[in-house]
Amino acid sequence: MRRPGHRLRGLLAAPLFVAFAVVLLAGAAVAQSLEKAEVRYQGWAGQVTFPELAEDLGYLAPLKLKWIGNTISGPQDIQTVATGDIDIGGAFYGAIIKLIASKAPVKAVIGYYGSDDHTWQGYFVKEDSPIRGPRDLIGKKVAVNTLGAHLEFVLREYLARGGLTPEEIKKVTLVVVPPVTGEQALRQGQVDVTTLAGVLRDKALERGGLRKLFSDKDLFGNFTGGAYVLRDKFIRDNPNTARKLIEGTAKAIEWARASPPDEVRARFEKIIAERKRNEDASSIKYWQSTGVAGQGGRITDGELQVWIDWLVKDGLLKPGQLKASDLYTNDLNPYGRAAAATVPK
């Protein structure tokens, strides 16, 4: 004969089973609504991208990321998106504008890096260097991670503000140097100026003997400097996947902005350890902030317009050739949609 308690346990278990089934069905529905099960991307050695953070936090599930390899160049990253070899990549706004001007069918979808009080790109010389201002750079060599990107544009803005003519600016030589060897190149005299940020900057300053010439923040204040892009076709053919990817990335940016830096650093270290790519994670302990100005990476016309104006002034774009609002969309970003909803009609 069954005891009453046995039946009671069965009655209690029934709602739990139903709830569990509902969760499973809801998860299956989400999975079926995604046009793609995985998204291809390139990583950065010793760093964690915001899509990677989003996946680790569970914001992308059931969508998966597929790592294709690493890069040290934003322009290369977005060019690889344009050719269809990866699905999402990020670069400096100026590089994005130039790519779209060349008829590449891509669109900026979420800002992901920039400069603030804690996170910025600095241009450094040796402490005893005679270089003190823009004009002193004529005939000198400056290390940058890649050509046609953030560091080149900021340098040229610095030189232009210093009164150098286009002909004089051309006499400043850019040397492509991997960021991890930038300090060494400066100390060994291979270049006259090197660019340093984050851990590489902080470690170099700890060792002493270097002096900051200027920084991007000195010129532009706090700003978002670049965005992730998606192909127009990817957005059109995979609307649910695209939205899930950018929503999750936006949430990850806000998580990193709201969480104590120690907690973010610990999460980054865990991600790097678990992905087993044989990389050095020591730089993570120097992470301080996202550098992203807009909530959730929301993009604004102004972020792009400053670089459109610069490219026009430099003769690389024709006046009126591109309109800022045509180069990006906030429609995939919940923070962008929320901001748009509050704008008076």
Q: List phi, psi (to 5°) of 168.
A: -70, -40
What is the residue extent of each domain of the chain? 1-33, 39-117+222-341, 121-220
Distance between CA atoms of 69 and 99, rounded to whole angstroms?
A: 22
pLDDT in single tens digits along all 345 residues of the chain: 444 455 545 544 444 444 434 333 334 444 559 999 999 999 998 889 999 999 999 999 999 999 999 988 888 999 999 999 999 999 989 999 999 999 999 999 999 988 888 888 899 999 999 999 999 999 999 999 878 778 898 999 999 999 999 899 999 999 999 888 999 999 999 999 999 987 788 889 989 999 999 998 899 888 888 999 999 999 999 999 999 999 999 999 999 999 999 999 999 999 999 998 988 888 788 788 888 988 999 999 999 998 899 889 888 899 999 999 999 999 999 998 766 655 444
Handedness of CA 129, 134, 138, 139 (dihedral sign): positive
Please tell me the predicted confidence (pLDDT) of residue 322: 95
The CA dihedral of 234, 240, 244, 246, to the nearest 10 degrees, is 40
Please tell me the predicted confidence (pLDDT) of residue 11: 47
What is the SS3 assignment for 345? coil
Structure tokens of 127?
Answer: 């402490």
Please choose, from the candidates 141, 148, 104, the residue with its C-alpha nearest in 3D space to the C-alpha of residue 126.
141
Please tell me the predicted confidence (pLDDT) of residue 289: 86
Domains 39-117+222-341 and 121-220 belong to one CATH topology:
yes
Q: Which position has the token pair 């977005």?
A: 78
Please tell me the predicted confidence (pLDDT) of residue 124: 97
| CA contacts within 13 A on the Cβ side of 218 | 12
Distance between CA atoms of 101 and 114, rounded to whole angstroms?
A: 23
Q: Evaluate whether 95 touches 78 at the Cβ level (below 8 Å).
A: yes
Please choose, from the candidates 218, 249, 214, the residue with its C-alpha nearest in 3D space to the C-alpha of residue 336.
249
- Residues contacting 37, CB < 8 A, separation 6+: 31, 62, 63, 64
Q: 39-117+222-341 has which fold?
A: D-Maltodextrin-Binding Protein; domain 2 (3.40.190)
| Angle subtended at Cα 98 by Cα 92 and Cα 103, rounded to the nearest 5 degrees | 130
Q: Which position has the token pair 């046995």?
A: 6
How many other C-beta atoms can be found within 10 angstroms of the C-beta atom of residue 272? Answer: 21
Question: Which one of 1.10.1530.10, 3.40.50.40, 3.60.21.70, 3.40.190.10 gives the CATH number of domain 121-220?
Answer: 3.40.190.10
Distance between CA atoms of 155 and 218, rounded to whole angstroms?
A: 12
User: What is the distance, to the nearest Å, from the Cα of residue 257 to the centroid of all Cα atoms in its chain?
Assistant: 14
Please tell me the predicted confidence (pLDDT) of residue 29: 44
Give pLDDT tens digits for 180-216: 899 999 999 999 999 998 778 888 998 999 999 999 8
How many other C-beta atoms can be found within 10 angstroms of the C-beta atom of residue 318? Answer: 10
Structure tokens of 229?
Answer: 């892009």
